[in-house]
Structure 1
Amino acid sequence: MTNPLREIDKTVGQLMDGLKQLKLHRCVNVIFVGDHGMEDVTCDRTEFLSNYLTNVDDITLVPGTLGRIRPKFNNNAKYDPKAIIANLTCKKPDQHFKPYMKQHLPKRLHYANNRRIEDIHLLVDRRWHVARKPLDVYKKPSGKCFFQGDHGFDNKVNSMQTVFVGYGPTFKYKTKVPPFENIELYNVMCDLLGLKPAPNNGTHGSLNHLLRTNTFRPTMPEEVTRPNYPGIMYLQSDFDLGCNCDDKVEPKNKLDELNRRLHIKGSTEERHLLYGRPAVLYRTRYDILYHTDFESGYSEIFLMPLWTSYTISKQAEVSGVPEYLTSCVRPDVRVSPSFSQSCLAYKNDKQMSYGFLFPPYLSSSPEAKYDAFLVTNMVPMYPAFKRIWNYFQRVLVKKYASERNGVNVISGPIFDYDYDGLHDTQDKIKQYVEGSSIPIPTHYYSIITSCLDFTQPADKCDGPLSVSSFILPHRPDNDESCNSSEDESQWVEELMKMHTARVRDIEQLTSLDFFRKTSRSYPEILALKTYLHTYESE
């Protein structure tokens, strides 16, 4: 790369010398930016599909660092994407690619909702290629390899990052900033030129920290639906959940005490909504439900929380769940039975189970544990996915709280049946728990926030924030992880890191707006929302 770099350096030098000669070097804003990084790749590190499939001549593969498969002939009735995926999934211990149906790709890639996008995608390990067969790779007749490097890997891989340099009177001087995505640059260019940006994929204002003066000052989106605050208590006898555990509560008068606990107000909001209540940006109906250990925005339409928020300190203990509570769900007397789920639906649907958005394992007291088993904390989950979710709640949340001096966690469901990366309206939802009106989420999200300075507790942070976000695919199997038959400690966290996401991705998928009440400036919050935690080592 010595000569090309020398040529680029020479060209940049000519540009800057020319600007100086014209006495414009202090008047003009200049941006140097690359479109991608590079990775060391050779023919010797190539996976051939002919080692996995018997009919590679019947498919067309876009080869290289991100394989894309489509039928060779459009009228091929035998072409079966799911069968091909099955034949490419976890077939070798040293396999260097992972196959995905496009709707199952990590949401951060935003690459699914178009008929021109192939059904099958192969995410290839860094420094590797994928091809149909050796004849497609080696030059004929010499048989020599014709490349030594390539790009196009998963963009969270460090080697795919590129350079950005901004120079001129509008840019800050000698300032280094965290990595950001190139989609954010269009808005900056418009600001430099005094133009109004056309609609685009960037978040206007998220790069204000690059500039000395800001011509654009972003404002928070307006809340569309304000919540209800239930004040009515329904009778226990009004509910028929099919899994009531009130008979396990001793003494019997304790049941009334547990229900009275549900009417705490305000005091928990400052503890569990450290950055303000999420705003709902579409028309719907939902209730704010307070609890000692968590707070929820409960949807009367989806019969489950849109979000559940809780704060876990570094000192929090993980406690066990008594055997009699493991199959226990309590009615929530604040919410009408007609807006409540029922365990009867899950008994009828043998393929579906349920989990909880606030983890019972992290309850602060035996009494608070009963709050975690309220029907309004319940969400539908495939049994296979519950392994992921339970490990995340029982082990990883505590781990992150210990490492980061406490964390705030916001979790909830996502519905994206048309896989366009945007919040589904009700008419787009295709799957429900059998015989019920309980919609099945396509994904679950979690936003984990702490202080960037780990010496400060999460709930007393007065400096910059640190955020990690995940969009976990809700699937009936764990085939994405080849070692999912092993203990969850061997694979769940790696799976979550693959499905890392920006807070902005979650906002688009839920039509919620987070971080609305904080001492930080709004551009600083936008920079936080558009940051992608890659979990990549150098």
Structure 2
Amino acid sequence: HACHCSDDCLVRGDCCTNYKSLCKGDSSWLQDQCEEIKSPECPAGFVRPPLIMLSVDGFRASYVKRGNAVIPNINKLRTCGTHAPYMRPVYPSKTFPNLYSLATGLYPESHGIVGNSMYDPVFDATFTLRSREKLNHRWWGGQPVRTVLPYVYAMHSEQPDTYGHKMGPMSTELNNPLRVIDRIVGQLMDGLKQMKLHRCVNIILVGDHGMEEAHCDRTEFLSNYMTNVDDIILIPGSLGRIRSRYPNNPKCERETKRPGKTMFCKKAEQHFKPYLKQHLPKRLHYAYNRRIEEIHLLVERKWHVREVFLRHCGFAGDHGYDNKITSMQTIFLGFGPTFKFRTKVPAFENIELYNVMCDLLGLKPAPNNGTHGSLNHLLRSPVYRPSMPEEVSRPATSGLVPAGADDLGCSCDDKVSFVLYFLLSDSRNLPYGRPAVLFRTKYSLLHHSDFISGYSESLSMPLWTSYTVKVSPLPDALSNCVRPDSRVPPAYSQSCTNYRADKQITFAFLYPPQLSSTVDKKYDGVLITNTVPMFPAFKRIWGYFQRALVKKYATERNGVNVLVGPVFDYNCDGVRDSAEKIREYVSGTIPVPTHYFAVLTSCLDFTQAADSCSGPLSSAAFILPHRPSNDETCRSSEEESRWAEELMKMHTARVRDVELLTGLDLYRRTTRSYGEILSLKTYMHTYESEI
């Protein structure tokens, strides 16, 4: 079907996309210079600019480095429009979960497509890519952007994924399918130009996930770790999901749920880590769905996991790994009159795109996991203007309890005069404003010279504690003592007596007293209202964070503001547990947090101090699982300096994840726009090498 240079194709509307460049001597779209499209230039009859969504399967973000010799059209779209260095897929970094997350703005645990294959115990049915069951609507949750709507068109290419699996992501043979995709993009742009739509249409080009080198020579076999491998069903590959083959047999079910006894730290060089799903890093959002098996294996990049030895091998690449690793990142670019011209934006997670697509189409987004407005900086004139949420509970004023109050069984060996410091200014310890509490509760602000706490009566511990660390050496630690706090009635306070009675749990300080600059100020830090219940094993991590990492980060960043506190998520849904929900799991005692959070904030420009920043902010967040052992690391017998920071980085998170798990709203007093703050909250440090 070669193109013919006859003008009747214009009348019939069936010209080839290169008709004008081939037959009329016009330049192709690729040959044209980048031009800024300040407003849509659409033919008569168009109500709004159409949206064309192009998704390319398995497009690893680093493929863009192959340059104009391989992908000139994609490179031009990227250069002339808006792009991110990469876009982070959801976990697992598989096709179906990610395409549906793009379409709904939901995490897999929310929309239900938790893998390319999955079993639903209520349906007693299995979903696979090759079965007709995938066409059954009962599997698909959420409300996707419908491709039947006018003004939205979607196309999906299975390349370069197929070649990536077959040849591996580093193969030069991958250039051929990349050229084919790029040629299709060029045909699209030439066709749009020929139809005078190239200044009218908005285009989004995304991948669903990246690609990693993998080979069956690098496979862990569960038969080397378990004696009952025939009693389990494993969904194998770049991640492992395990359920019992005999769910009605209590013994088999019980054995299947004991990964720590059989698979934790069994070999010196072990290339996967077993987790109960509720212990997976919170950033994965991969627990709150019945289709997610109880046991999950996070597999090291480049490796696979299977039950037993596999004779045949026919792949050199795979995906599905932890979504924060570099090789799993994929491409995002936006081009057209609604997107900014020649703009690079920070990386983001793909759940955020749903709200942008709805804005482009004039639709009201359905409820989703994205943060509406966090990607406004992609758009020339955003239609949605986010506003700061209203505070629900304001702090009460705290007063002194009458003399003779209960000492709570607490004492300090060091006898010094003690004065409480009430400071009127929060500028040092709350440089970005007081966290707002977005749920109904009673709490009070406890001011000290070196830190501030929002103290909860119902929890008998702080909701949050904030302090700012300057660039300076840390003083010596205090002796291990605790003082009662005369501002809080004993009924709403923890007691040292209870800690002495319970050998399984101890206390730890949210603000480290050793940071205080004088002896008197240190005694603010040993108040019982600065304590939280903590497992001794976890206290090793917390102590290392306080005595070593806080100092390190403050030195690197010209000071850092530290916000820390407890997290309660007993039902593993990624959202703060209500007081009623906590009582379902813990009754009659002070509740033990499921996690502890830390948010570190400094100035993006490290020449400015953290508490006097006039420019953009930089943040890092951690949501650390509070567990009675450190089995996750396999190195807990060694010094904390050899493993604690690595473990913390595994549990990196977005500030927005912290907000959802605590019911707090942060950064309420800054010099930055609220849209910029939302972008900061949804950014996640991956601690991975650059793309």
Place the TM-score, normalised by the shorter chain, in its bin. over 0.9
Residue 318 of structure 2, aligned match among 150, 155, 159? 150
The letter of the residue matching 1:427 is E
- CA deviation string 1:168-205 (max 9, x = no partner): 00101111111100000000011111111111110000
Partner residue of 1:296? Answer: 453
**After superposition, where does 1:200-215 map in structure 2 within 5 Å?**
200-215=368-383
State whether residues 85 and 101 of structure 1, in contact with CA within 8 Å, keep that contact through their aligned partners in structure 2. Answer: no
Aligned-partner SS, 1:272:
coil
**After superposition, where does 1:422-433 map in structure 2 within 5 Å?**
422-429=575-582
- CA deviation string 1:384-429 (max 9, x = no partner): 0110000000110001000110000000000000000000012222
1:321 equivalent in alignment to 2:477: yes
Q: CA deviation at 1:146?
A: 1.5
Residue 444 of structure 1, aligned match among 584, 592, 596? 596
Aligned-partner SS, 1:309:
strand
- CA deviation string 1:431-472 (max 9, x = no partner): 989x96311000000000011111111112111111110000
**After superposition, where does 1:135-534 map in structure 2 within 5 Å?**
135=310, 138-139=311-312, 145-230=313-398, 232-245=399-412, 248-250=414-416, 254-255=417-418, 258=419, 261-262=420-421, 264-267=422-425, 269-315=426-472, 317-322=473-478, 325-326=479-480, 328-429=481-582, 437-534=589-686
d(CA) in 2 for partners of 1:373, 1:265: 18
Aligned-partner SS, 1:237:
coil
d(CA) in 2 for partners of 1:187, 1:52: 45
- CA deviation string 1:474-508 (max 9, x = no partner): 00000001111100000000000000000000000
Q: CA deviation at 1:522?
A: 0.4
Aligned-partner SS, 2:598:
strand
Task: State the identity as a percent.
Answer: 65
The letter of the residue matching 2:405 is D
TM-score, length basis structure 1: 0.93
Query: Which has the greater radius of gyration?
Result: 2
Gaps spanning 5+ residues in structure 2: where? 1-173
- CA deviation string 1:185-232 (max 9, x = no partner): 0000111111111111100000011111110000011100000121x3
Deviates more, 1:455-464 or 1:472-481: 455-464
Aligned-partner SS, 1:392:
helix
Q: CA deviation at 1:237?
A: 2.0
- CA deviation string 1:235-286 (max 9, x = no partner): 35211311222x7424xxx24xx2xx34x1322x111101100000000000
Note the aligned Cα RMSD (angstroms).
1.4
d(CA) in 2 for partners of 1:305, 1:431: 21
State whether residues 259 and 275 of structure 2, in contact with CA within 8 Å, keep that contact through their aligned partners in structure 1. Answer: no
Q: CA deviation at 1:359?
A: 0.5
d(CA) in 2 for partners of 1:97, 1:497: 17
Change (3 A) 1:147 1:76: farther
State whether residues 431 and 439 of structure 1, in contact with CA within 8 Å, keep that contact through their aligned partners in structure 2. Answer: no
Aligned-partner SS, 1:134:
coil
Partner residue of 1:88? Answer: 263
Gaps spanning 5+ residues in structure 1: where? 140-144
- CA deviation string 1:105-129 (max 9, x = no partner): 0000001012221010111111111
Partner residue of 1:102? Answer: 277
State whether residues 431 and 612 of structure 2, in contact with CA within 8 Å, keep that contact through their aligned partners in structure 1. Answer: no
Q: CA deviation at 1:289?
A: 0.7
Partner residue of 1:75? Answer: 248
**After superposition, where does 1:110-121 map in structure 2 within 5 Å?**
110-121=285-296
Change (3 A) 1:65 1:430: farther
State whether residues 241 and 342 of structure 1, in contact with CA within 8 Å, keep that contact through their aligned partners in structure 2. Answer: yes
d(CA) in 2 for partners of 1:355, 1:431: 25
Change (3 A) 1:133 1:236: farther
Aligned-partner SS, 1:115:
coil
State whether residues 69 and 121 of structure 1, in contact with CA within 8 Å, keep that contact through their aligned partners in structure 2. Answer: yes
| Runs of 4+ displaced beyond 3 Å | 430-433
d(CA) in 2 for partners of 1:330, 1:418: 34
The letter of the residue matching 1:319 is P
d(CA) in 1 for partners of 2:328, 2:585: 40
d(CA) in 1 for partners of 2:522, 2:462: 18
State whether residues 351 and 369 of structure 2, in contact with CA within 8 Å, keep that contact through their aligned partners in structure 1. Answer: yes
The letter of the residue matching 1:275 is Y
d(CA) in 2 for partners of 1:430, 1:298: 19
State whether residues 431 and 440 of structure 1, in contact with CA within 8 Å, keep that contact through their aligned partners in structure 2. Answer: no
State whether residues 298 and 307 of structure 1, in contact with CA within 8 Å, keep that contact through their aligned partners in structure 2. Answer: yes
d(CA) in 2 for partners of 1:430, 1:163: 45
State whether residues 303 and 339 of structure 1, in contact with CA within 8 Å, keep that contact through their aligned partners in structure 2. Answer: yes
The letter of the residue matching 2:567 is I
State whether residues 447 and 503 of structure 1, in contact with CA within 8 Å, keep that contact through their aligned partners in structure 2. Answer: yes
Q: CA deviation at 1:334?
A: 1.2
d(CA) in 2 for partners of 1:439, 1:333: 22
Q: CA deviation at 1:15?
A: 1.3
Number of residue pairs matched by the alignment: 515
d(CA) in 1 for partners of 2:584, 2:272: 30
d(CA) in 2 for partners of 1:74, 1:11: 49
d(CA) in 2 for partners of 1:475, 1:101: 12
